[in-house]
């Protein structure tokens, strides 16, 4: 069955980007030129550009033209975030899935991370742990911001853009959804700081085993708190149903 004209134009623009080996930030042809190249109307091209803009495949700079976008995972972030906020049942599952994926990324590459992180980066990780400690006491930069930068820096030396983008995307969803679930406590912050300190110590010792163990201990309290919050919500819902 013939696909809709809109999708044909979308695919045509993507094919043009690939065929011409364009990179993020490179300009695309003007709207009239795209219409001629794709044999499509101006309205069809405009609709396709809107779709591709939402996916971050193209970027419209008003007054300048249309360019290849950052090709980020922003659409994935939006989708997972909306799923997590939309349903009382889905949000805890989203959190559980995200924690598993983040841990899988970091633990599976323990040996590579321990070998690739140089002294300067390890020093920066230690500074971020101190930022988290100060933020927990109401000082310094935000706790979440320091925690996010810690994990972003942790995988950066791998030089794998996809892993970096996925890690950042899952983290973005995590920090948006988590506050709605009431899973952060003072006890959680203290345990998080202590486990981040263990991660830094393992990196300094170049001990992949201790590093992997520290990551497991880091994510265990998060898993436990999400499970507790999920059980509390289920119990509260059951209580309200019995009262009806």
Residue (of 189, 181, 184) closest to 233 by Cα position? 181
Question: Residue 156 — left, alpha, or beta (φ > 0 → left; ψ -120 to 50 → alpha)?
Answer: alpha
Same domain for 208 and 98: yes
Q: Note the pLDDT tens digit of each residue in 14-62.
A: 999 989 988 888 999 999 999 998 999 999 999 999 988 877 889 898 8
Same domain for 179 and 100: yes
Same domain for 200 and 83: yes
Query: How far does Cα 168 stand from its chain's mean position?
Result: 3
CATH number, domain with residue 64 = 1.10.10.10
The domain in which residue 10 lies consists of 5-68
Among the listed ranges 42-56, 71-85, 158-172, 197-211, which one has the minimum average pLDDT value? 71-85
Same domain for 155 and 221: yes
* Cα separation, 125 vs 196, whole angstroms: 9
Same domain for 44 and 90: no
Element (H, E) at 38: helix 31-38
Please, what is the Cα angle at 243 between 240 and 244, to 5 degrees? 95
Q: Which of 68, 84, 112 is where one domain is finished?
A: 68
What global pTM score does this model have? 0.62
Residue (of 208, 170, 212, 183) closest to 195 by Cα position? 212
Same domain for 220 and 128: yes
Confidence at 244, pLDDT banded by 50, 70, 90: low
143 token code pair: 């706790």
The DSSP bridge pattern shows strands 58-61 and 65-68 to be antiparallel
CATH number, domain with residue 201 = 1.20.120.530
pLDDT of residue 220: 81
Please, what is the Cα angle at 184 between 178 and 185, to 5 degrees? 170
Same domain for 100 and 37: no
Q: Note the pLDDT tens digit of each residue in 182-223.
A: 555 566 788 889 999 999 999 999 999 999 999 888 888 777
**Residue 231 confidence (pLDDT) above 50:** yes
Please check whether residue 85 is in contact with residue 180, taking contact to mean a CB–CB distance below 8 angstroms: yes
| Spatial CB neighbours of 157, under 8 Å, sequence gap ≥ 6 | 113, 116, 117, 118, 121
Local structure of 110: helix, strand or coil: helix
**Residue 142 confidence (pLDDT) above 80:** yes
Domain count, the chain: 2
Residue (of 180, 200, 197, 201) closest to 189 by Cα position? 197
Q: Which of 20, 37, 68 is where one domain is finished?
A: 68
Same domain for 150 and 84: yes
């Amino acid at each position: 069955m013939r696909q809709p004209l809109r999708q044909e134009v979308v695919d045509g623009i993507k094919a043009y980007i690939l065929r011409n080996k364009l990179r993020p930030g490179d300009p695309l042809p003007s709207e009239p030129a795209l219409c001629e190249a794709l044999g499509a109307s101006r309205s069809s091209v405009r609709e396709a550009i809107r779709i591709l803009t939402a996916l971050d495949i193209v970027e419209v700079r008003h007054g300048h033209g249309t360019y290849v976008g950052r090709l980020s995972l922003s659409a994935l972030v939006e989708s997972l975030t909306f799923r997590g906020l939309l349903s009382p049942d889905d949000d805890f599952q989203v959190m559980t899935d995200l924690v598993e994926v983040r841990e899988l990324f970091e633990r599976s590459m323990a040996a590579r991370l321990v070998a690739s992180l140089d002294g300067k980066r390890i020093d920066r990780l230690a500074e971020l742990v101190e930022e988290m400690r100060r933020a927990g006491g109401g000082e310094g930069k935000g706790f979440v911001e320091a925690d996010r930068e810690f994990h972003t820096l942790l995988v950066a030396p791998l030089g794998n853009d996809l892993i970096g983008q996925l890690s950042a995307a899952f983290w973005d969803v995590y920090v948006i959804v988590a506050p709605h679930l009431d899973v952060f406590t003072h006890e959680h912050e203290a345990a998080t700081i202590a486990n981040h300190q263990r991660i830094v110590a393992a990196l300094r010792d170049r001990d992949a085993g201790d590093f992997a163990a520290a990551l497991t201990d880091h994510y265990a309290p998060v898993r436990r708190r999400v499970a507790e919050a999920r059980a509390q919500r289920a119990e509260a819902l059951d209580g309200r149903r019995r009262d009806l």
